[in-house]
Amino acid sequence: MTINNTNKRGKQLKVFVHLVLSIVFILLFIGFVNAELYYSLDVYYDNGNIKIRNVDVVFSNEPLENIINEKYFKTYNLEVIDINRDKKEAIAFGVLNKFFYDSVNASGEIVLGGLQELENVSFIVYAPYHDTGKEIIIYDENGNKISEKDVSSFSKIIIEELGKEDGKEEEDSKVQEVKKSVFDIKKIINYKYLILGVILVILLLILIYLINQPSQLKKKR
Amino acid sequence: MKVNYKFFLIAICIIGVGIIIQSQEIANQYGDGRVKVDTRIEKKTANGLDTYDFKADSSLTVHYTSQNGASKPVTYSQLESFQLKNGENVAPYLVFNERGKIVEAKFKTGKEGDYILGNEIVKLKKGSIVSFKDGKAEIKIPGDKIEPPSVINSKEKGETSFMYDSLDGQGIFLGAYKIKGGVGFENGNYFIQNQEQLELGDIVIANPNHIKTFIDFKGIINGGYKGAYISMDRERGVLVLGANIEQAGPAVKINPENAYGYYFDSPNTDHMAFKVLGNKDGSYVMIRKSAPLGKNQEFKIVPEIEHLNQFIMDQDYKSVYYNSKNEKMYLRPNGNLIKEFPASADSTTVATTISGSFKTKNSRIERVMEDMKVGVGNYNEIVFGKNKRFMRVKAYKDYPRLYTGVSDLEIYNYELTEAGFEKLTKVNVVAADSSGTAYLSKQSNIRYLFDLMNSIPTQQARMLKRLKLYDQVSGAYARAYSDGTVQMTVGRGYMDGDTWRHEMAHQVDFNGGSGRFNSMWYGSGIDRNVKTSSYSYNGGETVSEWLAYTGLTSDKQIKNMLGENWQNNKWYRAAFAVGWHNYLYTHERIAEIFGRAGLKYDKESLYRYMSDVGINIK
């Protein structure tokens, strides 16, 4: 092998390593920007019944999960239905109506206590956001529908239609602002994915080309 | 009309002879260019030097050709005499060497213009006073702005050192700062040297030994300066103090209002000073404002310091000192080392981290202390450690394994408040009554809460949504709610750390640990085999009691409770390992417990302890 060939291979190897590192970096970055929107449901539990008191859309870099622990909690289910009545999401959550209490003696040792159940309690339930979501329905542990809430005001389609219609009663400007920011965030995430995807494809193509290069050199020889 | 040509010829000859008689010409090779001097002044020659003494109507023109070939005359006229401070009158004169270079001059300018001194052309206003000899020019100027001299021959660049000062003594601008006592210029760079002490923006420079100290506003390390230097970039928040000579640079004190990110919460007592001790291989201290952390950059980080070779940092009545000779870093607990800025015993610290520590050895740059760092907290604590986010200082008296420390998070140093705690931990802390309010009003309590949060894994910390503090929790001492609320009693101004860990274990239990906690703890039989108290026999209390008894206690206490040879008990080993796997313990804490018991604590070993009781992790 000549010195020129060695140098060429060395350079190729260098480019190859850089490319692999770039791809790894992009994949890590994609993981990093893997932020999601969630419906945040303020639910009120009262003796087996549940009422969704309020719904917000929140943005989180980390997955927002509900506690499901059959040792302690009844498991209820939740569905997100879209405007075509299709089920977009089905998730479970525990009814968080338990607490431990602990009492101490004079020397500060815990000597008394135990697990208690609350008859009524409010807590937060998270569900992945869908921009075509129209309704959220909650089912109890036996599959009975026990609560539903219209979430179409957070739907992209509904908001866009509302924006086109004149003369309709205007929503509270603050609410509109929040909803707009929700879609702006969504757009940013999608935009980032698109750019990173294109870069990733280009890098992969170069990588494939470079992997094929040594075999071509061999053939030439 | 007949023209008398003879008359004209004779007249021209007379004028020509006159000119020849009255003018003398020096035409010497001068570096790359060429210099010619036209003058009608009588010159005095001695020792190969030509001296021209000026009178009021004297004029002397130096024609020089610069490197780009352009020829330009510089005329010295209207040079005036001036008085020295001692009253002595100095008459104007110029001295040329054999090469036609001006090597000595004293004069006061009677007009604005260009003046050559040595190899450089100086623009001077009318009334400027020049004393030039032996390559040093002292120039007093009217006004407060210097026009930097330009070089004639780049090969001889930097041979003249200029020192400018204002005639009125009110100072000269160097960048945005007006400096009294003189500003030097040498080889394209500005320097200070005359001042014993000088305030320059957000720093105070003490230079009693009059070390030549170059100043620039780039904020970069510069090995090219032949002397000490200060390089500052307020926009980027970078300050570099360096000395590339075997002599200490000036001492520098940081002002409370500064661009480098230092926060002086007690401006009257906070004390922070640096001194680079000098090294021919280069030495510097670089202070750098840190980039904030967080999605919205809400968490400010204290400034970082990097150093090369020997230096001193004085903080409080203490010093951090790196000695290049024995290659050791010292923390001096009593007394300052920088005598130029003496600190009183009641001075306090400003939080910072020495995160980069380097030395030169055999012309190579090497790390000092490997990956160790020096952390300085806002509460007069200086400590070595690896993790700048938290370096242990000491354990709490009641909890031998709960540590307080030094962190590079500004909140931990300067925002020990309810709001600061909420911002950093995302935990909603609620004072349920006046005792709760009183508890949260104390900085030491907030720091304790931070330290408690720091003692648990991040995943466990996320399970705590709300911390409610009561004089006395209703019907109990503490409660743990499944929505992530923990209620604690703080009636006597005290919150029990073991109980808090107990309640947090309930939170882990409610959340199911990392996913398989029920089967690992309850299903495997651990729950039945690791009872630490009679209360452990209550349903769901075993894990909380286990954690309360082992979370913050000493090895001795663990041995007292579990037995001298507890490490031989497979249930105990498994309980700790399952606790680690399910966010009850940090890996650091498991390393402490197992390490001191002589047990391995790598991932595989921990899995093996679990498998000993039938928990298969893979």
Is the residue at A202 inside a domain? yes
Regarding whether A53 and A24 lie in a shared domain, the answer is no
Could you give the CA distance from residue B209 to residue B200 in angstroms, rounded to a whole number? Answer: 18
Regarding whether B470 and B407 lie in a shared domain, the answer is no
Is the residue at A183 inside a domain? no
Is the residue at B205 inside a domain? no
Q: Give which of A110, A122, A188, A189 to mutate to test B binding, by max B Cβ within 10 Å.
A: A110
Of A64, A46, A74, A42, nearest to A55 by C-alpha is A42
CB burial string B375-412: b at 16+ within 10 A, e below: bbbbbebbbbbeebbbbbbebeeebebbbbbbbbbbbb
Regarding whether B316 and B384 lie in a shared domain, the answer is yes
Contacts of B494 (CB under 8 A, 6+ apart): none
Pull the structure tokens for residue B365: 């740059």
Is the residue at B167 inside a domain? yes
Regarding whether A107 and A92 lie in a shared domain, the answer is yes
Of B178, B192, B197, nearest to B229 by C-alpha is B192
pLDDT for the residue B71 = 72
A101, A104, A111 ranked by CB distance to B479: nearest: A101
| B209 HSE (CA, 13 A, CB side) | 13
Regarding whether A115 and A51 lie in a shared domain, the answer is yes
Regarding whether A64 and A116 lie in a shared domain, the answer is yes
Pull the structure tokens for residue A22: 């770039």
Is the residue at B436 inside a domain? no
Is the residue at A91 inside a domain? yes
What amino acid occupies position B410?
E
Chain-chain contact of A69 with B511 (C-beta, under 8 angstroms): yes
A97, A108, A111 ranked by CB distance to B482: nearest: A97
The chain A residue lying nearest B463, using CA atoms, is A67
Torsion of CA B545, B546, B552, B557, to 10 degrees: 100
* Edge-to-edge strands, sheet with B203-206: B197-200, B203-206, B251-254, B272-276, B311-315, B318-323, B328-332
| Residue that terminates a domain, selected from B414, B433, B462 | B414
Regarding whether B409 and B310 lie in a shared domain, the answer is yes
**B615 and B606 Cβ atoms separated by less than 8 Å:** no
Q: Give which of B428, B468, B510 to mutate to test A binding, by max A Cβ within 10 Å.
A: B510
Regarding whether A68 and A21 lie in a shared domain, the answer is no
Considering the entire predicted model, what is its pTM?
A: 0.79
- Exposed, middle or buried by CB within 10 Å (0-12, 13-18, 19+), for B10? exposed
pLDDT for the residue A168 = 45
Is the residue at B17 inside a domain? no
Regarding whether B575 and B471 lie in a shared domain, the answer is yes
Chain-chain contact of B511 with A100 (C-beta, under 8 angstroms): no
List for chain A the helix, strand, coil content (%; round to 5). Answer: 40, 35, 25
pLDDT for the residue A199 = 80
pLDDT for the residue A184 = 61
Regarding whether B358 and B468 lie in a shared domain, the answer is no
Domain housing B393: 235-414
Tell me, what DSSP letter sits at residue B155? G
Regarding whether B562 and B452 lie in a shared domain, the answer is yes
Regarding whether B537 and B577 lie in a shared domain, the answer is yes
Regarding whether B381 and B264 lie in a shared domain, the answer is yes
Regarding whether B457 and B405 lie in a shared domain, the answer is no
The residues facing B139 across adjacent strands are B130, B164
Pull the structure tokens for residue A19: 């490319």
Could you give the CA distance from residue B113 to residue B173 in angstroms, rounded to a whole number? Answer: 21
Regarding whether A211 and A139 lie in a shared domain, the answer is no
Own/partner long-range contacts of B334-342 (Cβ < 8 Å, ≥24 apart) = B336/B273, B337/B275, B337/B312, B338/B251, B338/B273, B338/B274, B338/B275, B338/B312, B338/B314, B340/B197, B340/B206, B340/B208, B340/B250, B340/B251, B340/B273, B340/B275, B341/B204, B341/B206, B341/B251, B341/B253, B341/B271, B341/B273, B341/B314
Regarding whether B581 and B526 lie in a shared domain, the answer is yes
- Exposed, middle or buried by CB within 10 Å (0-12, 13-18, 19+), for B36? middle
Is the residue at A146 inside a domain? yes
Is the residue at B426 inside a domain? no
Query: How far, CA to CA in Å, does A164 sit from each of A159, A177, B103, B523?
Result: 9, 16, 84, 59
pLDDT for the residue A3 = 46
Domain housing A198: 3-32+190-220
Chain-chain contact of B512 with A98 (C-beta, under 8 angstroms): no
pLDDT for the residue A61 = 80
A96, A102, A121 ranked by CB distance to B478: nearest: A102
Could you give the CA distance from residue B466 to residue B428 in angstroms, rounded to a whole number? Answer: 5
Regarding whether A57 and A21 lie in a shared domain, the answer is no
**10 Å Cβ neighbour count for B204?**
18
**B455 and B586 Cβ atoms separated by less than 8 Å:** yes
Regarding whether A119 and A12 lie in a shared domain, the answer is no
Is the residue at A162 inside a domain? no
Mind giving me the DSSP string for A110-162?
EEEEEEEE-SEEEEEEEEE--TTEEEEEEE-TTS-EEEEEE-GGG-HHHHHHH
Regarding whether A46 and A8 lie in a shared domain, the answer is no
Regarding whether A206 and A112 lie in a shared domain, the answer is no
Is the residue at A18 inside a domain? yes
pLDDT for the residue B248 = 96
User: Which residue ranges of chain B lie beneath pLDDT 70?
Assistant: 1-36, 66-70
**A74 and A94 Cβ atoms separated by less than 8 Å:** yes
Could you give the CA distance from residue B301 to residue A6 in angstroms, rounded to a whole number? Answer: 48
What amino acid occupies position B550?
T
Regarding whether A51 and A101 lie in a shared domain, the answer is yes
Phi, psi of A32 (to 5 degrees): -65, -40
Q: How many domains does chain B have?
A: 3
pLDDT for the residue A172 = 52
Q: How many domains does chain A have?
A: 2
Query: Which residues in B have their CB inside 8 Å of a CB on A?
Result: 295, 462, 473, 475-483, 496, 499, 502-503, 506, 509-512, 518, 522, 533-535, 538-541, 544-545, 548
| B549 HSE (CA, 13 A, CB side) | 25
Helix (H/G/I), strand (E/B), else coil: A62: coil
- Per residue of chain A (221 residues), give pLDDT as tens: 444 555 666 666 777 677 676 666 555 554 444 458 999 999 999 998 999 999 999 988 888 899 999 999 999 999 999 988 888 889 999 999 999 999 999 888 899 999 999 999 999 999 999 988 999 999 999 999 999 999 988 887 655 555 555 444 444 554 555 555 555 655 655 566 667 777 878 888 877 777 776 554 444 44
Regarding whether B459 and B397 lie in a shared domain, the answer is no
Q: Give which of A41, A70, A93, A100 to mutate to test B binding, by max B Cβ within 10 Å.
A: A100
pLDDT for the residue B20 = 40
**B582 and B514 Cβ atoms separated by less than 8 Å:** yes
Chain-chain contact of A96 with B499 (C-beta, under 8 angstroms): no
Regarding whether A194 and A132 lie in a shared domain, the answer is no
